Amino acid sequence: MKLLSVIFPAYNEEKMIVRAAQEVGKVLESARISYELVFVDDGSKDTTWKQIEETAEADPHITGVHFSRNFGKEAAMFAGLASAKGDCCVVMDCDLQHPPETLVEMYRLWEQGYEVVEGVKRTRGKESALHRASAGMFYKIISRAVGIDMSRASDFKLMDRRAVDALLEMPERNAFFRALSSWVGFRSVSVEFDVQERTEGQSKWSTWSLIKYAVTNIVAFSSAPMQFVTFAGVAVFLLGIVLGIQTLVKYFMGHAVEGFTTVILLILFIGSIIMISLGIIGYYISKIYEEVKGRPRYLISRKIDSRVDRLEG
Ligand code: UDP
Ligand code: MG
């Protein structure tokens, strides 16, 4: 019997653990799919871990992983994949914004031989206009870097054991799950789903954390911002030639003292370009520094193993 692992990153989701376990369990059981549910508590400050422990006691399908502190959703997803025993794994949000019924559809496609099944958002659910616009820009940059249209991509996806192992073998710390799963290739297909509304609790993303997330992932996936430095350098050089000719012409015509305004403007302009360039290079260096230190992506402080293998025999 094949085993499906469903991974739920959970941060302050005390109200959703039991509901998610019940609803997903119900759907998978009626579809006769054997499964385990991997809850990764991303250092929650509420009773999420207690909920996971209690649910795991009653339900043998549940694996629980508890982080020593909040490491972020990306880390939680990777920890879940690393603890999953399934022949295929699905990552989904535990606020049930990803509909459990789609799981079955994904599983059937996997049975037909697809190794990566991408969940694609048909609609994006409720969002503010500003959020939508900045998400649009972010996805444009990322899509160019990966070479695949990512504007409707989500973290909701099924991966075959082979793809999961390929992902887990990657040594990088700043891994962007959504794009890496396309990057690994394999036989893939996509399934559309409608983003549901969150019923309990609230979104864990502030505007600031979204900006940080966007910048980190652009830098993790693309060196395009570095080209800005070269580009700006060439632009300033061309400007330099034009101004140089003008200055020389004025000198030979005998009124060279003018142009103090130009000097001030040039110093300001070139100065700011140099500083922006240094900032961009500095950001990449800080990311290299982080990778070189080789700290673990996350630290697990407690773990509960599911009892599925004993169940299925
Ligand atoms: N999440 C997490 N760690 C974090 C933030 C979020 O594990 O630091 C989880 C969260 O519990 C949820 C999923 O990631 O299961 C998606 O988060 P959320 O619903 O807040 O994001 P949104 O749906 O608003 O994009
Ligand atoms: Mg959500």
Model confidence pLDDT, tens digit, residues 64-104: 999 999 988 889 999 999 999 889 999 999 888 888 888 89
Which of 15, 5, 57, 17 has its CA nearest to residue 41? Answer: 17
Q: How confident is the model at residue 269 (pLDDT cuts 50, 70, 90)?
A: confident
Cβ < 6 Å from ligand 1: which residues?
9-11, 13, 42, 70, 72-73, 76, 93-95, 97, 203-205
**DSSP string of 13-46, one letter each residue:** -TTTHHHHHHHHHHHHHHTT-EEEEEEEE-S-SS
- What is the rounded average pLDDT of the residues 48-54? 89
Asked if residue 216 belongs to a domain, the reply is no
Which of 221, 308, 215, 300 has its CA nearest to residue 41? Answer: 300
Asked if residue 212 belongs to a domain, the reply is no
C-alpha to C-alpha distance for 69 and 225, rounded to whole angstroms = 32
Asked if residue 187 belongs to a domain, the reply is yes
Choosing from 6, 11, 16, 139 the residue with most ligand 1 atoms within 8 A of its CB, the one to mutate for a pocket test is: 11
307 compared with 102, residue with greater pLDDT: 102
Which of 7, 301, 80, 295 has its CA nearest to residue 171? Answer: 295
Q: Would the pLDDT of 312 be above 60?
A: no
Say whether both 194 and 242 belong to one domain: no
**What is the domain extent for residue 276?**
224-293
C-alpha to C-alpha distance for 84 and 94, rounded to whole angstroms = 16
Contact of 40 with 9, CB cutoff 8 Å? yes
Asked if residue 207 belongs to a domain, the reply is no
Say whether both 23 and 108 belong to one domain: yes
When divided into structural domains, the chain yields a total of: 2
What are 280-297's pLDDT values in tens digits?
889 889 888 988 888 888
Asked if residue 270 belongs to a domain, the reply is yes
Q: Which residues pair with 118 in a beta bridge?
A: 157, 190
- What is the rounded average pLDDT of the residues 124-151? 76
Say whether both 33 and 82 belong to one domain: yes
Say whether both 135 and 265 belong to one domain: no
Helix (H) or strand (E) holding 137: helix 129-146
List the structure tokens of 298: 């996350």
Spacing, Cα 309 to ligand 1 middle (Å): 29
> What average pLDDT does the structure give for the chain?
84
What are 214-263's pLDDT values in tens digits?
888 888 777 878 888 888 889 988 988 998 888 888 888 887 776 778 78
Say whether both 176 and 231 belong to one domain: no
Asked if residue 238 belongs to a domain, the reply is yes
Say whether both 109 and 153 belong to one domain: yes
- Identify the CATH number of the domain in which residue 116 sits: 3.90.550.10
- What is the rounded average pLDDT of the residues 58-63? 88
What are 191-218's pLDDT values in tens digits?
888 887 777 777 777 778 778 888 888 8
| pLDDT score recorded for residue 313 | 44
| pLDDT score recorded for residue 125 | 66
Nearest residue (CA) to ligand 1, atom 21? 203
Say whether both 188 and 277 belong to one domain: no
Asked if residue 59 belongs to a domain, the reply is yes
Say whether both 252 and 182 belong to one domain: no
Say whether both 62 and 180 belong to one domain: yes
Q: Would the pLDDT of 136 be above 60?
A: yes
Choosing from 6, 71, 90, 95 the residue with most ligand 1 atoms within 8 A of its CB, the one to mutate for a pocket test is: 95
Say whether both 281 and 264 belong to one domain: yes
Neighbours of 145 (CB within 10 A): 19
Say whether both 135 and 282 belong to one domain: no
Say whether both 16 and 157 belong to one domain: yes
- Ligand 1 atom nearest 203 alpha carbon: 20
Record the pTM. 0.76
- What is the rounded average pLDDT of the residues 26-55? 89
